[in-house]
């Protein structure tokens, strides 16, 4: 065995010292040594001021040297701590010796794998909590009537978590609740339509029926609403016809005339044909009755009543000879009616 030469031993000692300062442990320990030296120098200056007469320049140099050593120690301390966190406490690697790109890529791949594993692990670990959260969210949407949002969550429960049976149970519950609410809304809408039908405003009723059919196209209860309106209109027309004939037979001319005017809104030319003879008789009797009332009012000098009846004759039978005769007398009757009304307060006084 050959003996080591002094140069070989010196190189080994040098490499050993270099290695000592390359590990994070040695760097941190060296930093503490520097901190101690810096502290000792600072204490020596303070003690020298108290015990010996040290020149100010010497004190300044010692203080500067103490601060410089402290800064170097701080640098070694920070370097050691960082390298300790990255490479380990006794690692000989340094940032300059590491392939930066490879390290970064490997680190990112590791983080990505950990995140993926973490997401999967969390999904497994919190599976029951997620399921319960979905249940609460679905029930809240059902209670608020937001059935479409609830159905979306049900699909999530079935597809993402695999709870198909429970999802189908929720789906049936949602559809039942939705149908119940829609049925209630349809009932309220039909009740409002029935109130319109009682006013005999058939155009408005048809518009309301069309609106309900557009709002609830899937409800079987709204399919024939427009027919319902037309049937109600036809039923009302038949009732008017029956009442008109009854009033005409009883010589209730006023009632017959009122019904005849209302029937005029419903009857076409062809439908009105069976009513023409009866209507002529009613109209003739009405005209005769007004003529008799007018003549009696004039004969009895009831000028105000004569004016009222005369204006009615002109309004209802404007193209008759009777109306022409009334027009010729109406100005004089109005004048006498005004005088009659003016005389009444004086007579009462």
242 shares a domain with 318: yes
pLDDT for the residue 204: 93
Give, rounded to a whole angstrom, the gap between the first and last alpha carbons of the chain: 164
Q: How many Cα neighbours within 13 Å face the side chain of 159?
A: 6
270 shares a domain with 210: no
301 shares a domain with 266: yes
User: Among 290, 282, 285, which Cα is nearest to 308's?
Assistant: 290
Check residues 261 and 84 and name the one with the higher pLDDT.
261
276 shares a domain with 208: no
Query: Where does residue 76 rank: exposed (0-12), middle (13-18), buried (19+ CB within 10 A)?
Result: buried
241 shares a domain with 211: no
pLDDT band at 196 (very low <50, low <70, confident <90, very high): very high
Q: Whole-angstrom Cα distance, residue 64 to residue 62?
A: 5
Tell me what percent of the residues of the chain surpass a pLDDT of 90: 11
Q: Whole-angstrom Cα distance, residue 39 to residue 57?
A: 19
Ramachandran category for residue 157: left, alpha or beta (phi over 0 → left; psi -120 to 50 → alpha): alpha
In a domain, 168, yes or no: yes
Check residues 227 and 338 and name the one with the higher pLDDT.
227
In a domain, 13, yes or no: no
Q: How many domains does the chain have?
A: 3
Tokens matching residue 86: 């990255």
Most confident of 9-13, 60-64, 187-191: 187-191
Buried b / exposed e along 118-141 (16+ C-beta atoms within 10 A): eeeeeeeeeeeebeeebeeebeeb
pLDDT band at 21 (very low <50, low <70, confident <90, very high): low
Tokens matching residue 194: 């029935």
User: Among 279, 291, 278, 281, which Cα is nearest to 320's?
Assistant: 291
Query: Last residue of a domain, which of 223, 247, 271?
Result: 223
**Mean residue pLDDT across the chain:** 75
**Residue 238 belongs to what domain range?**
226-348
- What is the gyration radius of the CA atoms in the chain, in angstroms? 56
Cβ neighbors of 256 (< 8 A, separation 6 or more) are 244, 247, 248, 282, 286
Q: Whole-angstrom Cα distance, residue 20 to residue 30?
A: 9
Mean pLDDT of 101-124: 56
85 shares a domain with 58: yes
pLDDT for the residue 1: 43
140 shares a domain with 80: no
Residues 154-169 have pLDDT tens digits of: 887 777 666 788 888 8
Q: Whole-angstrom Cα distance, residue 161 to residue 130?
A: 9
Dihedral of the CA atoms 311, 316, 322, 328 (nearest 10)? Answer: 30
In a domain, 118, yes or no: no
Q: Say what the pTM is.
A: 0.44
pLDDT for the residue 163: 74
Check residues 133 and 24 and name the one with the higher pLDDT.
133
172 shares a domain with 87: no
Helix (H, G, I), strand (E, B) or coil at 85: helix
**Is residue 231 scored above 50 in pLDDT?**
yes
Query: Where does residue 231 rank: exposed (0-12), middle (13-18), buried (19+ CB within 10 A)?
Result: exposed
Quote the DSSP letter at residue 320. S
User: Among 325, 321, 323, 326, which Cα is nearest to 306's?
Assistant: 326
213 shares a domain with 258: no
Mean pLDDT of 124-148: 76
Tokens matching residue 100: 């930066």
Q: Whole-angstrom Cα distance, residue 287 to residue 339?
A: 28
239 shares a domain with 141: no
Query: Where does residue 346 rank: exposed (0-12), middle (13-18), buried (19+ CB within 10 A)?
Result: exposed
């Amino acid at each position: 065995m050959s003996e080591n030469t002094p140069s070989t031993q010196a190189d080994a000692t040098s490499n050993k010292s270099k290695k000592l300062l390359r590990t994070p442990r040695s760097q941190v320990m060296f930093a503490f040594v520097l901190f101690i030296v810096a502290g000792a120098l600072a204490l020596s200056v303070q003690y020298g001021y108290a015990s010996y007469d040290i020149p100010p320049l010497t004190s300044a140099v010692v203080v500067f040297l103490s601060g410089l050593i402290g800064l170097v120690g701080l640098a070694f301390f920070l370097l050691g701590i960082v390298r300790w966190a990255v490479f380990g406490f006794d690692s000989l690697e340094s940032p300059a010796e590491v392939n930066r790109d490879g390290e970064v890529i490997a680190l990112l791949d590791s983080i990505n794998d950990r995140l993926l594993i973490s997401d999967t692990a969390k999904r497994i670990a919190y599976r029951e909590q997620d399921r319960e959260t979905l249940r609460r969210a679905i029930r809240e949407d059902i209670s608020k009537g937001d059935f479409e949002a609830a159905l979306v969550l049900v699909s999530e429960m079935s597809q993402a978590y695999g709870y198909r049976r429970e999802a189908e149970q929720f789906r049936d519950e949602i559809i039942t609740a939705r149908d119940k609410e829609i049925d209630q809304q349809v009932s309220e809408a039909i009740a409002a339509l029935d109130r319109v039908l009682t006013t005999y405003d058939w155009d408005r009723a048809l518009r309301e029926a069309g609106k309900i059919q557009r709002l609830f196209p899937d409800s079987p209860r709204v399919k024939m609403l427009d027919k319902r309106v037309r049937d109600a209109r036809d039923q009302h027309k038949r009732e008017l016809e029956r009442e008109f004939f009854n009033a005409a037979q009883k010589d209730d001319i006023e009632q017959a005339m009122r019904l005849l005017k209302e029937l005029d809104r419903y009857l076409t030319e062809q439908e009105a044909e069976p009513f023409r003879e009866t209507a002529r008789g009613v109209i003739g009797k009405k005209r005769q009755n007004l003529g008799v009332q007018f003549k009696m009012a004039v004969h009895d000098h009831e000028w105000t009543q004569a004016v009222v009846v005369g204006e009615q004759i002109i309004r209802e039978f404007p193209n008759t000879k009777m109306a022409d005769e009334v027009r010729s007398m109406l100005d004089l009757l109005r004048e006498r009616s005004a005088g009659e009304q003016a005389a009444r307060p004086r007579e009462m006084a």
